[in-house]
Amino acid sequence: MNKYVLVAASALLLALSGNLAFGQSGSFKPKNGFIPDEKTAVRVGEAVLETIYGEKQIASERPFSAKLKNGVWTVTGTFPKGQRFGGVAEIKISKSKGCVISVTHGQ
């Protein structure tokens, strides 16, 4: 088989198989959403929060937990040991779209 025919056939197969996973708009949409579970929600939440508040601040608020309600993950930090004032970071992330809905930090 000619090398160019093989390359063209491979490209065609990739293009056709890609249509199975992509919607009409060409955007991939995971079956269980972009943020399918608590572990993923925490990892994404911490990554975004670190860029806003800094690694040191977010590290002091670990462990983070995530709860899913109405398709929105709420990821919340934990008060550092012995701290009785101030607040912790909180981020809300869409399960289906993976986008950040809101970010807050208690005072």
Over residues 6-49, the pLDDT tens digits come to 444 444 344 444 444 555 567 888 999 999 999 999 999 999 99
Q: CA distances (Å), 6 to each of 11, 15, 90, in order?
A: 9, 14, 52
Mean pLDDT of 90-104: 97
Tell me the Ramachandran region of residue 54: left when phi exceeds 0, alpha when psi lies from -120 to 50, beta otherwise.
left
Q: 35 with 93: CB under 8 angstroms? A: yes
Mean pLDDT of 51-70: 96
